[in-house]
A = this chain, B = another copy of it.
Amino acid sequence: MKLKEQILPADLAQQIGARLILKTNLNVTGINEIHMVEHGDITFVDHPKYYKKALESKASFIIINSEVECPDDKALFISDDPFRDYVMLCKKYRPFESLHQNISPSATIGEGTLIMPGAIVGNHVSIGKNCVIHPNVTIYDHTQIGNHVIIHAGTVIGADAFYYKKRPDAYDKMYSCGRVVIGDDVEIGASCCIDRGVSGDTQIGQGTKMDNQVHIGHDTVVGKHCLFAAQVGIAGVVTIEDEVILWGQVGVQKDLTIGKGAVILGQSGIMSSLEGGKTYFGSPVRDHREKLRELALLKKLPEVFDKLK
C-alpha cells in the first residue's frame, strides 16, 4: 500500500526502535510485502533464506534481523523481530476501523447501483455504476469495485489473508492492509470469499464470472474473461491469466501461474504452474489426454496381475 504522507526514515526507526543504516535520500512512501515492493517502499525479512531477495528487491527500506551490508540507495532497519515491527507499522498507517452502520459514510457508490438489504459496505469502499450487491454480502474496507458488477448473496469480499508467522508457541497474525480490486462486468456467485491482499491488491479481471462458494486467496491476480465453476478454491499469490476455465471443486495451490486459456476439469488439483491453451485433469493435475489414458490402463490392472501370476 502507498502511504498518504511520506515518513522520514529516522522517524520510522524511532517508531519501531530499530537501528538505522541509511544509504538513500528517499523518504518512505509505501509499506509492502516482499512480493509487491516498489521503489520507496519499506518491507521486512527475517530469514537468511530470503535476505538476498529482499536486499536485491525494489524496496528502498528493509527491516532485517541481521547486520548485513547495506546496499547503495537503500536503508536497513536492524531489528530483533522484523515481522513484529512490520505488522506494527501496517496497523499504524492503515488502522482497523470499526463500522457502525450497514453502509459506511466513507463509501462511494455509483449511479444506478443497487445495495440490497443486509449487505454491508465497509469504510473507503468504492463501487461503480449499475452494480447489484445482493443481500447479506459483506464488503470489507478499501475494496474497489468497477461498473456493472453483480455480487450474489452471502459473498464476502476482502477478509484478511490466511497468513501467520509460526512462533515456538503460537501463530502470529500478519495484519492485512491490502485491498480487493474487481474489474467491470464481473459476476460473483453466492457465498464466495475473496481475500484482500496482504499489502497489495487481490485482483479480479474484467468480465470474469464465478459460480457459488468459490474461494480466492490473498494477492491472487485473476485475468479477464475467466470462468470459475462452483466450489473452486484458489490459494494466495496465484496468477491466473485471461480466459482460464476452472470447473467445479478444482483446487489451486499458492504461488503459481495458470497460462492463458487453460481449461482445468472438475476436482483437479494444481500444484505447479501450467502452460496455457491446454486441457488438464487429475489430482495432481496432468494433461487431460494422458490422464484419460492412465485411467483406461488402470481398469486393466487386474489383467496385468493375472498375467504375472
A66 located at the interface, meaning its Cβ lies under 8 Å from any Cβ of chain B in the complex: no
A185 located at the interface, meaning its Cβ lies under 8 Å from any Cβ of chain B in the complex: yes
Residues in chain B near residue A284, CB distance under 8 A: 295
Contact residue among B152, B169, B249, B308 (Cβ-Cβ distance under 8 Å from A159): B152
Q: Do the beta carbons of B190 and A213 come within 8 Å of each other? A: no
Q: Which of A208-266 contact B (CB under 8 A)?
A: 209, 211-213, 215, 217, 225, 227, 229-231, 233, 235, 248-249, 251, 253, 266
Residues in chain B near residue A169, CB distance under 8 A: 225
Task: Give A171 to B207 CA distance when docked, in angstroms.
Answer: 7
Q: Which of A165-215 contact B (CB under 8 A)?
A: 169-171, 173, 185, 187, 189-191, 193, 195, 207, 209, 211-213, 215
Q: Do the beta carbons of B187 and A173 come within 8 Å of each other? A: yes
Q: Which of A92-120 contact B (CB under 8 A)?
A: 96, 98-102, 114, 116-118, 120
A7 located at the interface, meaning its Cβ lies under 8 Å from any Cβ of chain B in the complex: no
Q: Do the beta carbons of B225 and A230 come within 8 Å of each other? A: no
A160 located at the interface, meaning its Cβ lies under 8 Å from any Cβ of chain B in the complex: yes
Stretch at the interface among A35-43, A272-280, A296-304: A296-304
A269 (CB) vs chain B CBs: closest residue: B267
Task: Give A153 to B217 CA distance when docked, in angstroms.
Answer: 15
Residues in chain B near residue A138, CB distance under 8 A: 118, 134-136, 153-154, 190
The residue among A138, A213, A283 with the most chain B CB atoms within 10 A of its own CB is A138
A252 (CB) vs chain B CBs: closest residue: B248
Task: Give A58 to B127 CA distance when docked, in angstroms.
Answer: 44
Q: Which 10 A-B pairs have the closest CB atoms?
A: A138-B153, A156-B190, A120-B135, A193-B212, A162-B211, A159-B190, A153-B156, A152-B159, A231-B233, A135-B138
Given contacts A156-B212, A162-B211, 12 further A-B contacts (CB under 8 A): A100-B117, A120-B153, A138-B153, A154-B154, A154-B193, A162-B230, A191-B191, A193-B230, A195-B212, A215-B231, A248-B253, A266-B271
